[in-house]
Amino acid sequence: MLLLLSIFLLSLSRNSKQRHLRRTNRQPPGPRNLPIIGSIHHLVSPNSIHRTFGQLSATYGPIMSLKLGEVPVVVISSSEGAAEIMKAHDLAFASRPIYASTDAIFFGGNDIVFARYGEFWRQMRRLCATKLLSPKRVRSFKAIRQTEISRLVRSIASSPSGSYINLSDELIKLSNNITAFSVIGGRCKQQRMFLSTLGEANQLLNGFALADLVPSIPGFIIRHTASGKKLDLCRLKLDQVADMIVREHRAKQVSKDSDDEVEDLTDVLLKIQDEGALPFPLSDDHIKAVINVCSLLVEWKYFSC
């Protein structure tokens, strides 16, 4: 009850300030906001979120304003508006905001997706293009792709006649297995635990976290909420699993283990860390954040369809 009262009072205070700002600043049209939750009630739908935005834009136009809790959002639904942002003003919009969930799961945004536009982001992008996604690197994973696809075909063929097969789930598993091999290696002992923990992180990132929607709530209050406890637990598990993966790869490099014929992304990042080849020190948190985001990108791609 005390938490709800605190949120309500904070919301009233912020709403009064925003009403004052609206008198001087012209805002794009948008649906009516409610205290505390803002426009979230307009987004509750069985449809995918981009389809819901499309339905709202049919009413309020190609540029509309929403509020996700306390957070103001402008939604662009036209190709012309998107081109204006992505081309004409790309530098102004290059950096993504860091919220509590992304801060916890991606180690303060020390990854490729949520890193602020700058030298670190450019270096990470270059490494992905030259070390992970180069034609030579992609060809090196041909055998594992063939193995995993053959495994999927055998699994479907061995299913009882007339049985139901969730092909979407099977394709996600296929992509996860291939991506896990590319990022942390096929022989990594922590692979199953890693994928399971990433599944939990994906659920948190796809939902609404109280700390993200109402950032004015003090952190010590957030940590005692259900969403705050889930986020802390997920962050701890991800850190432990990623730390074990890094330590296992380091031990493999020291022992010169030749069982793994193909270098994965973790091997490449650790070599770059040892060589000091970047204009800034590459920490273990940087490596763990890149590992997490590269693996989660596969699930985001499928869940957004």
Whether pTM > 0.95 for this model: the answer is no
pLDDT the model gives residue 176: 76
What's phi and psi for 84, nearest 5 deg?
-60, -40
Return the axis-axis angle of helices 191-206 and 167-184, rounded to nearest 10°. 120
Report residue 201: phi and psi, to 5°. Answer: -65, -40
Distant-in-sequence, close-in-space partners of 248: CB < 8 Å, separation ≥ 6: 188, 189, 190
Average pLDDT over residues 81-91: 88
Q: What percent of the chain has pLDDT over 90?
A: 9
14 versus 181: which is more confidently predicted? 181
Which superfamily, per CATH, for 119-303?
A: Cytochrome P450 (1.10.630.10)
pLDDT at residue 21, rounded to an integer: 47
CA nearest neighbour of 285 among 218, 238, 224: 238
Model confidence at 2: pLDDT above 60:
no
Residue 250 reports pLDDT greater than 60: yes
C-alpha to C-alpha distances, 126 to 119, 169, 179, 221, nearest whole angstrom: 11, 32, 19, 40
Q: Domain spans of the chain?
A: 2-93, 119-303
pLDDT of residue 301: 46
User: What's the whole-number mean pLDDT along residues 91-109?
Assistant: 79
At residue 221's C-alpha, the angle toward residues 114 and 44, to 5°, is 60
The one-character DSSP state at 73 is: E
DSSP 96: P
What is the tens place of the pLDDT at every residue in 113-129?
788 888 888 888 888 78
Mean per-residue pLDDT, 191-214 = 75
